[in-house]
Amino acid sequence: MRADARLARRMIVAVHSALAFGFAISLVGRLLTPDGVVATDFTVFWTGWWLILHGQAHALYDEAAQRAAQQALMSGFSFQGGLMAFLNPPHAALAGLPFGWLADQAGERAAFIVWTSASVALLLLLDRRLRETLGATEGPARWMVTSALFAFYPVFHALNIGQMSLLLAVAALELHRAVGASKPLAGAAWFLALTIKPQLVPAVFVFLVARRCWRLIAYALGALAVAAAISALVLGPGIWLEYARQVGPLEHFFAQGTVAHMLNLRGSLTRAVGSSAQPSIDAASYGIWIVATLLVAVVFAYRRIHEAPDTRAAYALALAVALLSSPHLFVQDAVVWTVPVALYAAALRDRGANWRPFAGFVLSWPILFVVVRLVDLAGDQGPRLRIDPLVIALIAATVVIGRGVVWDYGSRSTRMVRPSSL
């Protein structure tokens, strides 16, 4: 390797390491501050768990009940607007009850620390899996991947506010690994984990159908049916109907966040047009989501991905489109973007294509995210930029991946070469 390339790589690792260190210090500060975890998404989850644990499961998706419970739990603090709504589906609420019980017994900070410890374990697993995907399990390449992941602002933000995004990223990657290894039971379990963010499921399901993973699909639907039945048994027979009826109205309680902060097409439209047209934008965003999912199905049918030995690019496209077109996706969920870009970079490399420009583009994201966030939120709680450069970067990645699937998939997907290092 040339000396200038080695120097550039060391500089990238140094910058990423400095960012990751700063994020770690900030996270530790939140954990050590007595009231530091109160105004976080973890409190939102605790709101749902508290309602279940205290005999109000039937009111899990009732706005007034959530507002009263949340204000009681926050002990004098409150989210802007008085409520940040609990939106996760019933089976996800039921699965998190042990953390709610711990918060009730030992306090929110103790439960948050345990929750964060679990998220850090997921981060370490995600790091390992991404390095395996990219063939960067040792040497300098390992530190390129690890430092970039730990310096990625969505990773820090997910940890800082107690979100579930790292579980989603791990589930998305492990599902693809299960498909490749012909492990339908494991794949079904990871598919069930993905359903805590239902907006991501349709495009992934389209991939599974196009790949003809019939056993995995059967197991996944069976697992989801069992989870739904247990949720209805424990939380009440009408809980799923209430969820379907109330999740739309509840979704508008963003507290300090707004639609314009979303890293998706809905957020971009809101910035460009203005919040005065929000009802129309919201309706359009759901239409975009449906059309985008159908478009993925058409592409997969056209390229007959069930016949291809390598489906990394196809799966990357499904995830990228799901993330970009999702009606509800904030910055913490951009953690999942690490999966499609890593899979596509690895697919390019193994086909003998020029993969380094795409990898370099993705490695610039940690710095891009920090700079844009600083500029966009400087001195104001609302976004300052009419066009979000982060969404532009995500659109660019989706276009590159889509082009690779549409134009190159059939001609070069079967030609594999020896992997080269980062």
pLDDT tens, 255-285? 555 888 999 999 999 999 988 888 999 999 9
pLDDT band at 39 (very low <50, low <70, confident <90, very high): confident
pLDDT (average), residues 10-27: 94
Range in 40-44, 75-79, 231-235, 373-377 the model is least confident about: 75-79
Length of the chain: 422
Residues 6 or more apart whose Cβ sits within 8 Å of residue 208: 179, 191, 216, 217, 220
Residues 6 or more apart whose Cβ sits within 8 Å of residue 66: 47, 48, 51, 59, 60, 83, 85, 86, 250
Average pLDDT taken over every residue of the chain = 91
pLDDT at residue number 408: 66
Sign, CA torsion 169/170/175/180: positive
pLDDT (average), residues 131-156: 94
pLDDT at residue number 420: 46
Residue 422 lies in a domain: no
Distance, in Å, from the CA atom of 48 to the CA atom of 102, rounded to the nearest integer, reads 14
Tell me the C-alpha to C-alpha distance, in Å, between residue 274 and each of 80, 260, 328, 379.
20, 9, 17, 20
pLDDT at residue number 258: 82
Which token pair is 265?
A: 């097409």
Residue 32 lies in a domain: yes
Residue 245 lies in a domain: yes
Convert the pLDDT of each residue in 297-348 to its tens digit: 999 998 888 888 889 999 999 999 999 999 999 999 999 999 999 999 999 9
Convert the pLDDT of each residue in 104-130 to its tens digit: 999 999 999 999 999 999 999 999 999
pLDDT at residue number 412: 45
pLDDT band at 101 (very low <50, low <70, confident <90, very high): very high
The whole domain housing 255 covers: 3-412
Residue 417 lies in a domain: no
pLDDT band at 407 (very low <50, low <70, confident <90, very high): confident
Residue 336 lies in a domain: yes
Which token pair is 322?
A: 């799901």
Tokens 């910058």 -> residue = 15
pLDDT at residue number 1: 53
Residue 164 lies in a domain: yes
Number of domains in the chain: 1
pLDDT of residue 415 exceeding 90: no
pLDDT of residue 289 exceeding 80: yes
Q: What is the 3-state secondary structure of the chain?
A: CCHHHHHHHHHHHHHHHHHHHHHHHHHHHHHHCCCCCCCCHHHHHHHHHHHHHCCCHHHCCCHHHHHHHHHHHHCCCCCCCCCECCCCCHHHHHHCHHHHHHHHHHCHHHHHHHHHHHHHHHHHHHHHHHHHHHCCCCHHHHHHHHHHHHCCHHHHHHHHHCCCHHHHHHHHHHHHHHHHCCCHHHHHHHHHHHCCCHHHHHHHHHHHHHCCCHHHHHHHHHHHHHHHHHHHHHHCCCHHHHHHHHHHHHCCCECCCCHHHCCCHHHHHHHHHCHHHHHHHHHHHHHHHHHHHHHHHHHHHHHCHHHCCCCHHHHHHHHHHHHHHCCCCCHHHHHHHHHHHHHHHHHHHHCCCCCHHHHHHHHCHHHHHHHHHHHHCCCCCCCCCCCCHHHHHHHHHHHHHHHHHHHHHHHHCCCCCCCCCC
Residue 117 lies in a domain: yes
Instruction: Label residue 97 exposed, middle or buried (CB < 10 Å: 0-12, 13-18, 19+).
Output: middle
Residue 418 lies in a domain: no
